[in-house]
């Protein structure tokens, strides 16, 4: 799916590394108990069914153990009793930029949000800690019947539409961290695109963690009705703290008949963030769900965007880039669950491990035996920069039946001394040569990002490579 716009979001790592001291009007305190859940529901004035939903999720979260079969060593460093689960200045999402509180406004102005809205975006939402500070959509898009609000507004203003799909693509008990989000969710996006409407410019959300020892739990639900199209982009930053920060989002996408959803993520978390995210789309007959994912920064990322191909001729795609530097583990991948005949899926994942960084590809492709004419292509390629870099690949492919086809390709390569020497003979220093090699490795995927993101991704890779040699 193509778009005619390019966002102008600067994702230079140092640009997000600042923090303002805040006085919060609402603070649920430290630790997660039923009182925490009641506090969040009271602040939001939620109906009983939402409170019950949260309480059920809290019990599931408490009962489920941490996933010990992977990333267990990293997860042991999360101390859930030390996290602050809800912080808000008490603001409602402003509809005009002038109404945003001055300190919050300064944060997003430094990150380039208002300029991007004026130039390239059909709508933008900016979340500060637990709540959105700003939310606005262009008038011409609103007149088409497009809804772009937070989940709290979605619950109150569009309850029948919201409840129909909320928690249906990703159930509460899907995993420990989806249960955590379901208990504490606050902020995020609710988008509905009416039948036949094609949103020409992207909708953008920006998630900012400002507080120390904080957990951000936004919840996003996007529904594209029959024959509609939408592109949604999210950016994420947090300042560098000595203590751990937790980010655990849930994203549910619903593409009805012949609809198209493209979801683009560029995360640039600081390396104290544990980023534990559940993302999944459902594609009905003739629909397409496409994830474009860039994972840079964080201490640990566990993220496996998936598509459930529910209708015939549905299509799913995941294109991902992961870069792991010293002290970082990028555990990423994709899931494609074929549930109808003549469905197709494509996974292309590229990872770069720098210094003692570790990257992991973890994928799942499932085709039951009663289906026919289903196709999947999976490519996972890894690049090692240093002798201590590490990469692992764990593809799980289950294909039954006689008329389905799958092809899988994986490669691991290392930037050779000969390559670097060759480029140095042509006037590049060692860091420039390394950066050129890495950018060449990911170039075919970077082209899939909107132009301004592509430029910034290449610049961010340049910055990472400066410290990788020697």
User: How far is C-alpha 432 from the geometric centre of its chain's CA atoms?
Assistant: 29
Nearest Cα residue to 262 out of 283, 247, 285: 283
Containing 140, the helix (H) or strand (E) segment is helix 139-143
CB 303 within 8 A of CB 332: yes
Q: Which residues are CB-contacts of 198 (< 8 A; sequence separation ≥ 6)?
A: 228, 229, 230
The pair of structure tokens assigned to 172 is 């509460």
Looking at residue 8, its pLDDT comes to 40
CA distances for 464 relative to 263, 291, 352, 382, 446, angstroms = 25, 24, 11, 16, 16
Roughly how many angstroms between the first and final C-alpha of the chain, as a whole number? 42
Place of tokens 């969040």: 40
For helices 430-446 and 417-424, give the axis angle rounded to 10 degrees: 110
Angle at 48 (CA atoms; ends 47, 53), nearest 5 degrees: 105
Nearest Cα residue to 363 out of 411, 406, 407, 306: 306
Nearest Cα residue to 265 out of 200, 320, 347: 320
Q: What is the C-alpha to C-alpha distance for residues 7 and 201, in angstroms, rounded to an integer?
A: 9
Nearest Cα residue to 223 out of 194, 260, 254, 200: 254
The pair of structure tokens assigned to 301 is 């990322």
Radius of gyration of the chain from Cα atoms?
Answer: 21
Q: What is the C-alpha to C-alpha distance for residues 117 and 202, in angstroms, rounded to an integer?
A: 10
Phi, psi for residue 328 in degrees, rounded to 5? -120, 145
Q: Which residues are CB-contacts of 446 (< 8 A; sequence separation ≥ 6)?
A: 321, 439, 454, 457, 458
Place of tokens 């619950």: 155
Compute how many other C-beta atoms are within 10 angstroms of the C-beta atom of residue 12. 15
pLDDT 10s per residue in the chain (470 long)? Answer: 444 443 343 444 444 443 445 567 888 999 999 999 999 999 999 999 999 999 999 999 999 998 876 666 788 888 999 999 998 876 566 667 666 667 666 666 665 666 666 667 788 888 878 887 777 788 889 999 999 999 999 999 999 999 999 999 999 999 999 999 999 999 999 999 999 999 998 898 888 788 888 999 999 999 999 999 999 988 877 666 677 889 999 999 999 999 999 999 888 788 889 999 999 999 999 999 999 998 988 899 999 999 999 999 999 999 999 999 888 999 999 999 999 999 999 999 999 998 899 999 999 999 999 999 999 999 999 999 888 889 999 999 999 888 899 999 999 998 877 888 888 888 888 878 888 888 888 888 888 877 666 766 777 777 767 665 54
Residue 30 carries which DSSP code?
Answer: B
Angle at 100 (CA atoms; ends 97, 101), nearest 5 degrees: 150
Question: Ramachandran region of residue 338, left (φ > 0), alpha (ψ -120 to 50) or beta?
Answer: beta
Burial (CB count within 10 angstroms: exposed 0-12, middle 13-18, buried 19+), residue 238: buried
Nearest Cα residue to 80 out of 128, 31, 116, 42: 31
The pair of structure tokens assigned to 461 is 């890779």
Question: Ramachandran region of residue 146, left (φ > 0), alpha (ψ -120 to 50) or beta?
Answer: beta
Q: What is the largest CA-CA distance in the chain?
A: 70
CB 269 within 8 A of CB 303: no
Q: What is the C-alpha to C-alpha distance for residues 318 and 334, in angstroms, rounded to an integer?
A: 7
Looking at residue 128, its pLDDT comes to 77
The pair of structure tokens assigned to 285 is 């007959």
For helices 451-466 and 430-446, give the axis angle rounded to 10 degrees: 150
DSSP letter for each residue of 355-416? TT-EEEEEEEEEE-TT--S-EEEEEEEEEE-STT-EEEEEEEEEE-SSS-EEEEEEEEEE--
Q: Taking the C-alpha atoms of 300, 301, 302 and 304 in order, what is their torsion angle to the nearest 10 degrees?
A: -160
User: How far is C-alpha 127 from the geometric centre of its chain's CA atoms?
Assistant: 14
For helices 176-184 and 34-44, give the axis angle rounded to 10 degrees: 50
Burial (CB count within 10 angstroms: exposed 0-12, middle 13-18, buried 19+), residue 354: buried
Hey, where are the domains in the chain?
A: 1-245, 417-470
């Amino acid at each position: 799916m193509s778009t005619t716009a390019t966002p102008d979001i600067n994702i230079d790592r140092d640009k997000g590394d600042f923090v303002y001291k805040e006085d919060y009007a609402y603070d649920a305190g430290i630790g997660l108990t039923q009182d925490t859940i009641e506090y969040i529901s009271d602040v939001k004035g939620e109906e009983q069914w939402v409170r019950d939903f949260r309480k059920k999720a809290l019990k599931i979260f408490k009962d489920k153990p941490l996933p010990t079969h992977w990333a267990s060593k990293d997860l042991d460093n999360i101390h859930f009793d030390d996290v602050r689960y809800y912080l808000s200045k008490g603001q409602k999402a402003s509809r005009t930029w002038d109404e945003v509180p001055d300190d919050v406004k300064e944060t997003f102005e430094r990150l380039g949000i208002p300029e991007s809205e004026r130039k390239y975006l059909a709508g933008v939402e900016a979340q500060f800690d637990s709540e959105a500070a700003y939310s606005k959509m262009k008038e011409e898009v609103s007149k088409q019947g497009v809804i772009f609000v937070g989940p709290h507004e979605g619950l109150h203003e569009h309850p029948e539409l919201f409840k129909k799909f909320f928690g249906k693509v990703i159930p509460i008990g899907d995993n420990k961290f989806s249960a955590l989000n379901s208990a504490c969710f606050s902020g995020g996006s609710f988008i509905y695109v009416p039948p036949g409407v094609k949103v020409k410019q992207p909708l953008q959300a920006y998630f900012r963690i400002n507080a120390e020892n904080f957990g951000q739990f936004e919840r996003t639900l996007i529904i594209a009705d029959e024959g509609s199209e939408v592109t949604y982009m999210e950016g994420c930053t947090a300042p560098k703290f000595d203590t751990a920060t937790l980010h655990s989002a849930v994203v549910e996408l619903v593409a009805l008949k012949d609809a198209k959803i493209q979801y683009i993520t560029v995360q640039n978390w600081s390396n104290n963030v544990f980023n534990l995210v559940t993302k999944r789309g459902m594609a009905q007959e003739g629909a397409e769900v496409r994830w474009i994912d860039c994972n840079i920064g964080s201490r640990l990322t566990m993220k496996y965007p998936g598509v459930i191909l529910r209708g015939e001729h549905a299509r799913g795609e995941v294109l991902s880039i992961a870069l792991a530097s010293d002290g970082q583990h990028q555990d990423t991948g994709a899931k494609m669950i074929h549930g109808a005949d003549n469905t197709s899926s494509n996974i292309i994942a590229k990872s770069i491990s720098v210094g003692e960084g570790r990257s992991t590809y973890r994928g799942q492709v499932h085709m039951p035996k009663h289906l026919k004419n289903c196709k999947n292509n999976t490519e996972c390629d890894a690049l090692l920069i240093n002798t201590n870099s590490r990469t692992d690949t764990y593809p799980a492919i289950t294909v039954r039946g006689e008329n389905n086809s799958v092809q899988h390709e994986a490669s691991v390569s290392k930037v050779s001394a000969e390559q670097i020497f060759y480029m140095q003979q042509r006037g590049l220093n060692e860091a420039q040569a390394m950066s050129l090699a890495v950018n060449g490795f990911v170039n075919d995927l970077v082209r899939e990002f909107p132009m301004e993101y592509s430029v910034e991704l290449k610049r961010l890779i340049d910055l990472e490579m400066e410290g990788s040699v020697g």
